[in-house]
Protein backbone atom coordinates (compact mmCIF):
# COMPACT_ATOMS: atom_id res chain seq x y z
CA UNK A 1 0.00 0.00 0.00
CA UNK A 2 1.38 3.41 -0.99
CA UNK A 3 2.38 5.59 1.97
CA UNK A 4 0.79 9.02 2.33
CA UNK A 5 3.91 11.05 1.35
CA UNK A 6 4.45 8.87 -1.71
CA UNK A 7 0.79 9.20 -2.65
CA UNK A 8 0.99 12.99 -2.34
CA UNK A 9 4.10 13.04 -4.53
CA UNK A 10 2.40 10.82 -7.09
CA UNK A 11 -0.65 13.09 -7.25
CA UNK A 12 1.55 16.18 -7.40
CA UNK A 13 3.63 14.67 -10.22
CA UNK A 14 0.59 13.66 -12.22
CA UNK A 15 -1.06 17.07 -12.00
CA UNK A 16 2.21 18.88 -12.63
CA UNK A 17 3.00 16.76 -15.66
CA UNK A 18 -0.46 17.51 -17.07
CA UNK A 19 0.07 21.26 -16.57
CA UNK A 20 3.49 21.18 -18.23
CA UNK A 21 2.11 19.11 -21.10
CA UNK A 22 -0.47 21.81 -21.74
CA UNK A 23 2.09 24.60 -21.95
CA UNK A 24 5.07 22.67 -23.33
CA UNK A 25 3.61 19.69 -25.20
CA UNK A 26 3.64 15.99 -24.51
CA UNK A 27 7.44 15.87 -24.40
CA UNK A 28 7.62 18.51 -21.65
CA UNK A 29 10.16 16.53 -19.59
CA UNK A 30 12.51 16.25 -22.57
CA UNK A 31 11.98 19.93 -23.42
CA UNK A 32 12.77 20.86 -19.81
CA UNK A 33 15.99 18.86 -19.94
CA UNK A 34 17.07 20.43 -23.24
CA UNK A 35 16.39 23.98 -22.08
CA UNK A 36 17.53 23.86 -18.46
CA UNK A 37 20.27 21.23 -18.44
CA UNK A 38 22.16 21.74 -21.70
CA UNK A 39 25.71 22.93 -21.11
CA UNK A 40 26.71 26.40 -22.20
CA UNK A 41 26.55 30.09 -21.26
CA UNK A 42 23.15 31.73 -20.78
CA UNK A 43 21.85 35.19 -21.59
CA UNK A 44 20.84 35.70 -17.95
CA UNK A 45 22.45 34.55 -14.67
CA UNK A 46 20.63 32.22 -12.30
CA UNK A 47 19.61 35.03 -9.93
CA UNK A 48 18.29 37.28 -12.71
CA UNK A 49 14.84 38.83 -12.11
CA UNK A 50 13.67 37.61 -15.52
CA UNK A 51 14.31 34.03 -14.37
CA UNK A 52 12.46 34.66 -11.11
CA UNK A 53 9.40 36.08 -12.89
CA UNK A 54 9.26 33.67 -15.82
CA UNK A 55 9.77 30.65 -13.58
CA UNK A 56 6.88 31.44 -11.24
CA UNK A 57 3.30 30.10 -11.32
CA UNK A 58 2.03 33.69 -11.59
CA UNK A 59 2.94 33.50 -15.29
CA UNK A 60 -0.33 31.63 -15.86
CA UNK A 61 -2.21 34.75 -14.77
CA UNK A 62 0.18 37.09 -16.56
CA UNK A 63 -0.10 35.17 -19.81
CA UNK A 64 -3.89 35.53 -19.96
CA UNK A 65 -3.65 39.23 -19.07
CA UNK A 66 -1.04 39.77 -21.78
CA UNK A 67 -3.24 38.19 -24.45
CA UNK A 68 -6.19 40.39 -23.47
CA UNK A 69 -4.12 43.58 -23.31
CA UNK A 70 -2.28 42.91 -26.59
CA UNK A 71 -5.58 42.42 -28.42
CA UNK A 72 -6.42 46.11 -27.95
CA UNK A 73 -3.97 47.18 -30.65
CA UNK A 74 -5.94 46.71 -33.89
CA UNK A 75 -2.90 45.95 -36.04
CA UNK A 76 -1.42 43.47 -33.59
CA UNK A 77 -4.85 41.85 -33.26
CA UNK A 78 -5.27 41.70 -37.05
CA UNK A 79 -2.01 39.79 -37.32
CA UNK A 80 -3.10 37.31 -34.65
CA UNK A 81 -6.58 36.93 -36.14
CA UNK A 82 -5.40 36.43 -39.72
CA UNK A 83 -2.25 34.39 -39.20
CA UNK A 84 -2.02 32.60 -35.84
CA UNK A 85 -4.97 30.20 -36.01
CA UNK A 86 -5.39 30.68 -32.27
CA UNK A 87 -8.95 29.31 -32.23
CA UNK A 88 -8.09 26.21 -34.24
CA UNK A 89 -4.88 25.41 -32.35
CA UNK A 90 -4.75 27.43 -29.10
CA UNK A 91 -2.53 24.93 -27.29
CA UNK A 92 -0.07 24.87 -30.16
CA UNK A 93 0.23 28.65 -30.05
CA UNK A 94 0.60 28.58 -26.25
CA UNK A 95 3.30 25.93 -26.49
CA UNK A 96 5.25 27.87 -29.11
CA UNK A 97 5.10 31.01 -26.96
CA UNK A 98 6.10 29.06 -23.86
CA UNK A 99 9.00 27.46 -25.72
CA UNK A 100 10.31 30.87 -26.81
CA UNK A 101 10.04 32.39 -23.33
CA UNK A 102 11.67 29.38 -21.69
CA UNK A 103 14.48 29.13 -24.25
CA UNK A 104 15.43 32.81 -24.14
CA UNK A 105 15.12 33.00 -20.35
CA UNK A 106 16.69 29.70 -19.25
CA UNK A 107 18.29 28.12 -22.31
CA UNK A 108 21.81 28.38 -23.63
CA UNK A 109 22.81 31.52 -25.47
CA UNK A 110 23.14 29.52 -28.68
CA UNK A 111 19.63 28.10 -28.32
CA UNK A 112 18.25 31.54 -27.45
CA UNK A 113 19.81 33.01 -30.58
CA UNK A 114 18.32 30.22 -32.70
CA UNK A 115 14.91 30.80 -31.11
CA UNK A 116 15.08 34.51 -31.91
CA UNK A 117 16.13 33.80 -35.50
CA UNK A 118 13.22 31.38 -35.89
CA UNK A 119 10.66 33.88 -34.59
CA UNK A 120 12.10 36.69 -36.70
CA UNK A 121 11.70 34.46 -39.73
CA UNK A 122 8.04 33.88 -38.86
CA UNK A 123 7.48 37.60 -38.34
CA UNK A 124 8.82 38.35 -41.82
CA UNK A 125 5.96 36.29 -43.30
CA UNK A 126 3.20 37.78 -41.13
CA UNK A 127 1.87 40.80 -42.96
CA UNK A 128 -1.49 41.92 -44.26
CA UNK A 129 -4.21 44.54 -44.09
CA UNK A 130 -6.46 45.19 -41.09
CA UNK A 131 -10.23 45.63 -41.36
CA UNK A 132 -9.85 49.42 -41.65
CA UNK A 133 -7.46 49.09 -44.61
CA UNK A 134 -4.25 49.76 -42.67
CA UNK A 135 -1.31 47.59 -43.66
CA UNK A 136 0.63 45.82 -40.92
CA UNK A 137 3.75 43.70 -40.54
CA UNK A 138 4.70 41.60 -37.52
CA UNK A 139 8.31 42.73 -37.96
CA UNK A 140 7.34 46.41 -37.53
CA UNK A 141 9.45 47.65 -34.57
CA UNK A 142 6.53 49.76 -33.35
CA UNK A 143 4.19 46.75 -33.10
CA UNK A 144 6.95 44.66 -31.54
CA UNK A 145 7.39 47.34 -28.87
CA UNK A 146 3.66 47.14 -28.10
CA UNK A 147 3.73 43.37 -27.79
CA UNK A 148 6.80 43.53 -25.55
CA UNK A 149 5.36 46.29 -23.37
CA UNK A 150 2.05 44.45 -22.89
CA UNK A 151 3.86 41.23 -22.01
CA UNK A 152 6.38 42.80 -19.64
CA UNK A 153 3.68 44.81 -17.87
CA UNK A 154 1.40 41.76 -17.57
CA UNK A 155 4.05 39.33 -16.35
CA UNK A 156 5.37 41.88 -13.87
CA UNK A 157 1.89 42.83 -12.59
CA UNK A 158 1.01 39.17 -12.07
CA UNK A 159 4.28 38.47 -10.32
CA UNK A 160 3.91 41.41 -7.97
CA UNK A 161 0.38 40.33 -7.04
CA UNK A 162 0.66 36.53 -7.10
CA UNK A 163 4.36 35.66 -7.28
CA UNK A 164 6.10 33.83 -4.46
CA UNK A 165 8.74 36.57 -4.08
CA UNK A 166 7.69 39.98 -5.44
CA UNK A 167 10.53 42.15 -6.72
CA UNK A 168 11.76 45.38 -5.17
CA UNK A 169 12.13 48.49 -7.32
CA UNK A 170 15.65 47.62 -8.49
CA UNK A 171 14.49 44.11 -9.38
CA UNK A 172 11.50 45.44 -11.33
CA UNK A 173 13.69 47.84 -13.30
CA UNK A 174 16.16 45.05 -14.05
CA UNK A 175 13.34 42.76 -15.14
CA UNK A 176 12.06 45.33 -17.63
CA UNK A 177 15.59 45.88 -18.95
CA UNK A 178 16.15 42.14 -19.37
CA UNK A 179 12.89 41.68 -21.27
CA UNK A 180 13.99 44.61 -23.44
CA UNK A 181 17.16 42.70 -24.32
CA UNK A 182 15.04 39.87 -25.73
CA UNK A 183 12.63 42.26 -27.44
CA UNK A 184 15.42 44.20 -29.11
CA UNK A 185 16.94 40.95 -30.35
CA UNK A 186 13.58 40.39 -32.08
CA UNK A 187 13.72 43.86 -33.62
CA UNK A 188 11.85 46.00 -31.07
CA UNK A 189 14.41 48.79 -30.98
CA UNK A 190 13.86 51.34 -28.22
CA UNK A 191 12.08 49.03 -25.79
CA UNK A 192 11.77 50.51 -22.26
CA UNK A 193 14.45 49.65 -19.73
CA UNK A 194 12.84 50.65 -16.44
CA UNK A 195 9.44 50.30 -14.85
CA UNK A 196 8.80 54.03 -15.20
CA UNK A 197 9.73 53.95 -18.88
CA UNK A 198 7.45 50.95 -19.37
CA UNK A 199 4.51 52.82 -17.83
CA UNK A 200 5.25 55.84 -20.03
CA UNK A 201 5.32 53.70 -23.15
CA UNK A 202 2.00 52.06 -22.31
CA UNK A 203 0.49 55.53 -21.84
CA UNK A 204 1.83 56.59 -25.24
CA UNK A 205 0.20 53.58 -26.91
CA UNK A 206 -3.24 54.27 -25.45
CA UNK A 207 -4.20 56.61 -28.33
CA UNK A 208 -3.78 53.68 -30.75
CA UNK A 209 -5.79 51.13 -28.76
CA UNK A 210 -9.42 50.22 -29.25
CA UNK A 211 -11.78 47.31 -28.86
CA UNK A 212 -12.32 45.88 -32.33
CA UNK A 213 -14.76 43.04 -33.03
CA UNK A 214 -11.72 40.78 -33.45
CA UNK A 215 -10.36 41.81 -30.04
CA UNK A 216 -13.69 41.18 -28.32
CA UNK A 217 -14.01 37.79 -30.04
CA UNK A 218 -10.51 36.89 -28.88
CA UNK A 219 -11.35 37.92 -25.31
CA UNK A 220 -14.49 35.77 -25.33
CA UNK A 221 -12.51 32.83 -26.66
CA UNK A 222 -9.68 33.18 -24.13
CA UNK A 223 -11.98 33.67 -21.15
CA UNK A 224 -15.00 31.53 -22.02
CA UNK A 225 -14.31 29.12 -24.87
CA UNK A 226 -10.71 27.93 -24.53
CA UNK A 227 -10.63 24.12 -24.93
CA UNK A 228 -9.82 23.38 -21.29
CA UNK A 229 -10.62 19.87 -19.93
CA UNK A 230 -13.74 19.80 -17.79
CA UNK A 231 -11.81 18.94 -14.65
CA UNK A 232 -9.57 22.00 -15.11
CA UNK A 233 -12.28 24.53 -15.92
CA UNK A 234 -12.84 25.77 -12.35
CA UNK A 235 -9.12 26.47 -11.97
CA UNK A 236 -8.93 28.12 -15.39
CA UNK A 237 -11.89 30.28 -14.45
CA UNK A 238 -10.05 31.48 -11.36
CA UNK A 239 -6.93 32.23 -13.42
CA UNK A 240 -9.04 34.18 -15.92
CA UNK A 241 -10.76 36.18 -13.19
CA UNK A 242 -7.39 37.00 -11.64
CA UNK A 243 -6.05 38.10 -15.05
CA UNK A 244 -9.03 40.36 -15.74
CA UNK A 245 -8.70 41.77 -12.23
CA UNK A 246 -5.16 42.91 -13.05
CA UNK A 247 -6.10 44.71 -16.26
CA UNK A 248 -6.05 48.52 -16.12
CA UNK A 249 -9.50 50.05 -15.75
CA UNK A 250 -9.35 51.76 -19.14
CA UNK A 251 -8.95 48.44 -20.96
CA UNK A 252 -12.17 46.90 -19.64
CA UNK A 253 -14.97 48.56 -21.63
CA UNK A 254 -13.29 48.20 -25.05
CA UNK A 255 -13.22 44.44 -24.44
CA UNK A 256 -16.64 44.48 -22.72
CA UNK A 257 -15.12 43.20 -19.49
CA UNK A 258 -16.44 44.13 -16.04
CA UNK A 259 -14.70 46.48 -13.64
CA UNK A 260 -15.56 45.54 -10.05
CA UNK A 261 -12.83 47.04 -7.87
CA UNK A 262 -14.19 45.88 -4.51
CA UNK A 263 -14.73 42.27 -5.62
CA UNK A 264 -11.38 42.24 -7.42
CA UNK A 265 -9.56 43.44 -4.32
CA UNK A 266 -11.13 40.77 -2.11
CA UNK A 267 -12.74 37.68 -3.62
CA UNK A 268 -10.85 37.64 -6.93
CA UNK A 269 -7.51 38.35 -5.27
CA UNK A 270 -8.01 35.54 -2.75
CA UNK A 271 -9.02 33.14 -5.52
CA UNK A 272 -6.00 34.14 -7.59
CA UNK A 273 -3.69 33.51 -4.65
CA UNK A 274 -5.25 30.11 -4.09
CA UNK A 275 -5.00 28.92 -7.68
CA UNK A 276 -1.41 30.13 -8.21
CA UNK A 277 -0.36 28.47 -4.95
CA UNK A 278 -2.01 25.26 -6.13
CA UNK A 279 -0.16 25.42 -9.46
CA UNK A 280 3.09 26.18 -7.64
CA UNK A 281 2.55 23.11 -5.46
CA UNK A 282 1.65 20.89 -8.41
CA UNK A 283 4.56 21.96 -10.60
CA UNK A 284 7.23 21.22 -8.00
CA UNK A 285 8.30 17.96 -6.43
CA UNK A 286 8.57 17.46 -2.69
CA UNK A 287 12.14 18.77 -2.83
CA UNK A 288 11.07 21.88 -4.76
CA UNK A 289 12.33 20.86 -8.21
CA UNK A 290 10.12 20.83 -11.31
CA UNK A 291 8.56 17.47 -12.31
CA UNK A 292 11.04 15.40 -14.23
CA UNK A 293 14.12 17.29 -13.04
CA UNK A 294 15.20 14.65 -10.53
CA UNK A 295 14.86 11.95 -13.15
CA UNK A 296 16.70 14.07 -15.68
CA UNK A 297 19.58 14.77 -13.33
CA UNK A 298 19.75 11.30 -11.80
Report pLDDT digits (tens) over 25-66: 555 567 778 888 888 999 999 999 999 999 999 999 999 999
Burial class (CB in 10 A: 0-12, 13-18, 19+), 276: buried
79-101: average pLDDT: 76
Provide the CB-side half-sphere exposure for 27 (13 A, CA). Answer: 6
| pLDDT at position 67 | 93
Q: Decide the pairing of beta strands 135-137 and 127-129.
A: antiparallel
Taking CA atoms, 274 is separated from 57, 163, 175, 238, 239, in Å, by: 11, 12, 25, 9, 10
Query: Over the chain, what is the mean pLDDT?
Result: 85
| pLDDT at position 2 | 45
Neighbours of 14 (CB within 10 A): 12
Strand partners, 135: 129
| pLDDT at position 101 | 94
- Each residue's pLDDT tens digit, 104-149: 999 999 999 999 999 999 999 999 999 899 999 999 999 999 999 9
| pLDDT at position 88 | 58
Amino acid sequence: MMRAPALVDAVRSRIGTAIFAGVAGDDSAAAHERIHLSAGPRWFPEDAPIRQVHGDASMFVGGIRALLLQSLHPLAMAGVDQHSGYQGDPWGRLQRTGWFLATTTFGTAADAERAVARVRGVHQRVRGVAADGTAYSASDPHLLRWVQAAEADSFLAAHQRYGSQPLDQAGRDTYVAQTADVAEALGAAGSPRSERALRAQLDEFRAELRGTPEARAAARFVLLSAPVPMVARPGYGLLSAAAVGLLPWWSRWPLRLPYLPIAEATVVRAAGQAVTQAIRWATSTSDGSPPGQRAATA
